[in-house]
Amino acid sequence: MTSIDRRLQEALDGERDPATLPAELREAYARLVGAAQLLSHTPPASVAERVMAEVRRLPAPASAALAFEDGVARRVARWFAQPRAVTLRLRPAWTLAIAAALAAVVFLPLAESVAPGAEEGVAQFVGHFPGARSVEVVGSFNDWRRGALPLSDEHHDGIWHGAVVLPAGQHEYMFVVDGERWVADPLAGRYVDDGFGRENALLIVRPAVGP
Amino acid sequence: MSDRSSDVEVVARVVGGDGEAFGIIIQRYEPGLLRFATRMLGSSDAAADAVAESLVRAYRHLAQCRNPARLRSWLYRITGNRCHSHLARRRTGEVPLEDVPPIADPADTWEVLERGEQVALVERALAALSPEKREAFVLKHVEGMSYEEMAAATGSRIPTLKMRVHRAREALLAALEERV
Amino acid sequence: MRPALGLALVLAASHASAVSAQSVRARLEDRVPAAALPAIDSLVTQAGSEGLPTEPLLQKALEGGVKGIAADRLVNGVRRGLTQLRDARAILVRAAPARAVTPGDVAAVSAALARGLSPALVERLLGAAPPPPPEPAGPVLHAAADLVARGFPPDSAADLLLTAQREGLRGVRLLDVAAAASHELQRGCAPGEALVRVREMLPNVPEVPPPRPRAVTRRPGPRS
């Protein structure tokens, strides 16, 4: 794929008057604008009746104070209440509510599994990948090796999770879904350019507090 | 309340218990959301399902819309997420094209193609993009969003979105210029 | 009260001394395109000779390898990494000439720049560091990057964090300050109001507890 002239990109971004483009770029500009116009046809169908029928069956929207309901959000809350490590990747607007839940996660008794040492902490990873066959975490903490940190979805509900002890500090990572799709964790909240045209999620592991 | 009410006022009314007022939100945003979802999924039926699911979800969580003044971005975000879920379930991210006229004679230039053939060509080029680039191009050039709105609608950073839009333009232009 | 914890941004096995060519090849062989090895070798050696940490460059090479990046782009990525490390160290030296430059600080500044903070903002945050002993650069920089990513104006974000430091908050507590401001946004406050509310809370912003799940795997060592 050939890179197109910066002036053309600027004109398409509204940062340059297209009239100032040379002739060959004006033609390309018109072609792309024309293509976009062709795509602007609005489908005739409406879903209004269908949606309103459903809305009339439902109670009024719950209050803004982190009202969880059935569905993925409730399952996330259950994950935090149970003795397992889970972070949930949720793409809808619940992301903000879930991020707040993450911030308010309860202390759970640290029982039979590995305890972090000094200058170590626990990192939880969770992703919502319905239909995925495998999800793993690859990052700077495992030398970017595949196969070192698989997540599990034991309830087969598309929620993949895992937790590890890591040195306190900053770590970059990505999820790899089905062995081939690299995804920056949408719930990470922190991202950094990877220098290869993508973004890595950035994790800051806090030192664990003693029991 | 007439439908000249602001989004903030309509949202407050719905959250206050007037579910019928949600019809105003549907009326305002359904055409754009359907257009967006159709371009993402390549199917008007799939788009209708995705938008209907998204609007119901939006209703249920309307009280959590952090800033009703940015309702549009929030609705596009929910719909975009739903489209990505649909595409992820297809595994390949490929977009099936329905009701598309046959491809015209490759010797024809863009200008002599019938409009339907032009639409088909552009739709095929769009379908060949990754979901992220497709979404960025559609939000920018079909839905007419600013990069700031796109950032709110996708959760991606502006530099990332610009890169995706730029790459999408390159791919589309290359596909269109093959006709010449 | 939990003592203020410094966030030790220690890179795994990071060191500023020269890395032997043999050890570079041993780490990277079969993991990066063979065509890229000589150039990466050279860049890592260069970093070592300049007293810069080499681990970030090795990590970048490994990352590029596993992501399937072509040799030339991979080398460019590592080269860019070296430039970023140089820039990071220059900023550290300008901001606090009397402060020892640690590999952790170089990595933290490099990450902060990669997260979109301007060099000027980084210098401002590091230049106004609290009294000795010197704090790691990571927490205040990542807290600032968190705030900027949420849409807070950079200078206002810096003002809040520097105020927090003057109130005695250190290390991960600065990340709690950023989290508190984000929480105010989620509750519907405008950015300016959110910053005011958090400033009023100082130094008693809520602590964000670390996760403590039952089932945890200790990760294998990175070079197992």
Distance CA C123, CA B166 (A): 33
C10 touches chain A (CB under 8 A): yes
pLDDT digits (tens, 9 = 90+) for A10-28: 999 988 999 999 998 998 9
Closest CA to B92 of B43, B131, B60: B131
DSSP state of C5: P
Domain ranges of chain A: 6-38, 72-205
A56 touches chain B (CB under 8 A): yes
Its sign, for the CA torsion B11, B17, B21, B22, is positive
A13 touches chain B (CB under 8 A): yes
Residues of B in contact with C188 (CB under 8 A): 66-67
Average pLDDT, stretch C189-210?
86
**Per-residue model confidence as pLDDT tens for chain B (180 residues):** 446 778 888 888 888 888 999 999 999 999 999 999 999 998 888 999 999 999 999 998 888 776 777 899 999 999 998 888 888 776 554 555 554 444 445 455 555 567 777 888 888 889 888 888 999 999 999 999 999 889 888 888 888 899 999 999 999 998 887 654
B155 touches chain C (CB under 8 A): no
CB contact under 8 A, C107 and A138: no
Closest CA to B159 of A198, A44, C93: A198
Query: Are the beta carbons of A77 and A98 closer than 8 angstroms?
Result: no
A112 touches chain C (CB under 8 A): yes
Closest CA to A78 of C130, A69, B82: A69
pLDDT the model gives residue C121: 94
pLDDT the model gives residue C122: 94
pLDDT the model gives residue C216: 65
Query: Are the beta carbons of C36 and C61 closer than 8 angstroms?
Result: yes
A62 touches chain B (CB under 8 A): yes
β-pairing verdict for A169-177 and A135-139? antiparallel
pLDDT the model gives residue C214: 53
CA distance B127 to chain A (A): 12
Among all residues of chain A, which has the CA nearest to that of C171? A206
Which amino acid belongs to residue B179?
Answer: R
Alpha helices per DSSP H over C37-137: 37-49, 55-66, 71-95, 103-114, 119-127
Q: Which two tokens stand for residue C100?
A: 């020892």
Residues of B in contact with A69 (CB under 8 A): 60
C13 touches chain A (CB under 8 A): no
Token pair 């459903």: residue: A54
Q: Report which of residues B93 and A107 the model is more confident about.
A: B93
Distance CA A6, CA C10 (A): 41
Domain A72-205 superfamily per CATH: Immunoglobulins (2.60.40.10)
Query: Are the beta carbons of A52 and B26 closer than 8 angstroms?
Result: yes
C189 touches chain B (CB under 8 A): no
CB contact under 8 A, B26 and A61: no
Residues facing residue A183 across a β-bridge: A175
pLDDT the model gives residue C26: 84
pLDDT the model gives residue C187: 80
Q: Which two tokens stand for residue C21?
A: 């060519």
Among all residues of chain C, which has the CA nearest to that of B159? C116
pLDDT the model gives residue A193: 84
CA distance C168 to chain B (A): 32
Among all residues of chain B, which has the CA nearest to that of C182? B66
Residues of A in contact with C63 (CB under 8 A): 140, 144, 172, 194, 196, 200
Among all residues of chain C, which has the CA nearest to that of A163? C216
With a CB cutoff of 8 Å and minimum separation 6, the contacts of C224 are: none
Among all residues of chain C, which has the CA nearest to that of B156? C149
ipTM of predicted assembly, 2 dp: 0.82
Distance CA B14, CA C12 (A): 53
Burial of A2 per CB tally in 10 Å (0-12, 13-18, 19+): exposed
CB contact under 8 A, B66 and C116: no
Rg (CA), chain C: 19
Give the per-residue SS3 of B9-36. HHHHHHHCCCHHHHHHHHHHHHHHHHHH
β-pairing verdict for A199-205 and A181-183? unpaired
Query: Are the beta carbons of B42 and B124 closer than 8 angstroms?
Result: no
Query: Of the given ranges (B44-53, B83-92, C63-72, C136-145), which has the lowest mean pLDDT?
Result: B83-92
Nearest to B142 among A39, A54, A58 (CB): A39
Distances (CA, A) of A12 to A9, A25, A34, A162, C222: 5, 11, 12, 44, 46
Domain ranges of chain C: 15-114, 118-209
CA distance C3 to chain A (A): 10
Sketch out chain B's domains with CATH numbers: 1-97 (1.10.1740.10), 100-180 (1.10.10.10)
With a CB cutoff of 8 Å and minimum separation 6, the contacts of B109 are: B179, B180
Q: What is the mean pLDDT of chain A?
A: 75
Subunits that touch chain C (at least 3 Cβ pairs < 8 angstroms)? A, B
Closest CA to A50 of B82, B32, B45, B15: B45
A113 touches chain C (CB under 8 A): yes
Which amino acid belongs to residue B17?
Answer: G
Q: Which two tokens stand for residue B148?
A: 């700031």
pLDDT bucket at C81, cuts 50 / 70 / 90:
very high
Give the per-residue SS3 of chain A. CCCCCHHHHHHHCCCCCHHHCCHHHHHHHHHHHHHHHHCCCCCCCCCHHHHHHHHHHCCCCCCCCCCCCCCHHHHHHHHHHCCCCCCCCCCCCHHHHHHHHHHCCCCCCCCCCCCCCCCEEEEEEEEECCCCCCEEEEEHHHCCCCCCCECECCCCCCEEEEEEEEECEEEEEEEEECCCEEECCCCCCCEEECCCCCEEEEEEECCCCCC
With a CB cutoff of 8 Å and minimum separation 6, the contacts of C214 are: A83, A84, A85, A108, A109, A110, A111, A112, A113
CA distance B59 to chain A (A): 6
With a CB cutoff of 8 Å and minimum separation 6, the contacts of C109 are: C88, C89, C91, C92, C122, C126, C137, C141
CB contact under 8 A, C188 and B157: no
C104 touches chain A (CB under 8 A): yes
DSSP state of C219: P
Q: Which two tokens stand for residue C215?
A: 């089932």
CB contact under 8 A, B66 and C186: yes
B64 touches chain C (CB under 8 A): no
CB contact under 8 A, B67 and C188: yes
Query: Of the given ranges (A32-46, A124-138, A180-194, B77-91), which has the lowest mean pLDDT?
Result: B77-91
**Each residue of C173-197: b (16+ CB within 10 Å) or e?**
bbbbbbbbbbbbbbeebebeebbee
Which amino acid belongs to residue B88?
Answer: A
Mutate which of B66, B149, B160, B163 to disrupt the C interface (most C C-beta within 10 Å)?
Answer: B66
Residues facing residue A161 across a β-bridge: A126, A152
